[in-house]
Homo-oligomer: A and B are copies of this chain.
Amino acid sequence: MAKRVVTFGEILLRLAPEGYRRFLQADSFGAVYGGGEANTALSLAQFGTDAAFVTKLPEHDIGQAAVNFLRSYGVDTSMIVRGGDRMGIYFLERGAAQRPSRVIYDRAGSAFALARREEFDWDRIFAGADWFHITGITPAVSDGMAEISLEAVKAAKRLGLTVSCDINYRAKLWDKAKAGRVLSGIMQYVDICIAGRGQAGDLFGIESHPASEDDYRAYEPVARELTERFGCRAAAVTLRTTVSSSDNLWAAMIYDGEKFCYSREYNIHIVDRVGGGDSFAAGLIYAQLTGMDTQQTVDFAAAAACLKLSVEGDANICSVQEVKELAESGSAQVQR
């Protein structure tokens, strides 16, 4: 029987100029819908997992379009609360070569940011679920959401779900001090945490001292400290290197309390750089739910992240078989 995963967060309307046009050159915007936890749910649904995404969206047709987008890909949207005035938007300008991608957020005052605690009945939401996933973006959205996020992880823990959290610190949303304080609270209930390199230092004061950009081993003490301080079962560190906007390196490490397992390093010619980490989380959750060991988990999750960067949009539209083929072989041969 398919395992059930619930994720909780905001989904935004993403508006991106066509191709490599800059904002100042745009006379149309391609529209998809994305957000950290939504992307993870969507990727899990492609893996065949029963994945529900919980959020709040306005009742108007742009809100409905977000729902339709999610259910098109098989995400369970039946727990989404409807109401409020607006949905968050983000404008994305795709970078290339030495020109970085740029994001303009327009998410203040969204239905989600202003949602109230009583709108989310966690006992009902978690009924039948095995896993709960959240990121550090959700509590950053508003003070109310910081509270609701804490309630959510507490409820999930109480109801016996595995809880994962991708720290995902966003400096445009809150400062480090506040983020560290709020996330420390949430982390008490987290079984598996995911952090980009440097984030643990920024938020929890867990410093790393890499000799160079490819000194991945410098993050081993960080992963160990995360598990020890917060009592997590495992900690994953994603290891990306921005060679340029067109080319990235991607690897990951997971510490399971005993050993440090590393994925292969992928050298990736980028199609769409958004959502690699969210796809990593989906890969990690799928791997753990289907009984993969730590090495298999990091291999599968890193391959999922790598594939995402070749897919347009925020989320990873790839099957388990595709991820496994890459994790196992790395080939990109056309089948015919």
Q: Which residues of A contact B (CB under 8 A)?
A: 15, 18-32, 60-62, 64-65, 68-69, 71-74, 85-86, 89, 91, 93, 95-106, 108-109, 170-172, 242, 244-247, 266, 268-273, 303, 306-307, 309-313, 317-318, 322, 326, 330-336
Contacts and interface: CB of A to CB of B under 8 A. Distances in A.
A146 to B, nearest CB: 19
A30 B28 contact: yes
20 contacts: A20-B310, A22-B61, A22-B311, A22-B317, A24-B61, A24-B64, A26-B31, A60-B104, A61-B102, A97-B271, A98-B268, A98-B307, A99-B311, A99-B322, A99-B332, A101-B332, A102-B335, A108-B109, A242-B332, A242-B333
Given A104-B62, A332-B244, A336-B170, A68 B98 contact: no
Given A18-B28, A20-B271, 9 more contacts: A19-B312, A23-B65, A24-B68, A28-B28, A89-B89, A95-B334, A97-B310, A98-B268, A100-B334
A105 B65 contact: no
Copy number of this protein in the oligomer?
Answer: 6
Contact of A98 (B30, B85, B332): B332
A74 B322 CA distance: 28
Given A24-B64, A242-B332, A310 B99 contact: yes
Contact of A268 (B97, B104, B108, B306): B97
A280 B303 CA distance: 34
Contacts of A269: 96-97, 244, 246-247
Given A23-B62, A72-B72, A100 B28 contact: no
A32 B74 CA distance: 18
B27 A336 contact: no
A319 B278 CA distance: 31
A108 B114 CA distance: 14
A312 B20 contact: yes
Contacts of A332: 95, 97-101, 242, 244-245
B20 A95 contact: no
A99 B65 contact: no
A307 B73 CA distance: 28
A248 to B, nearest CB: 9
A168 to B, nearest CB: 10
Given A31-B28, A336-B172, A310 B60 contact: no
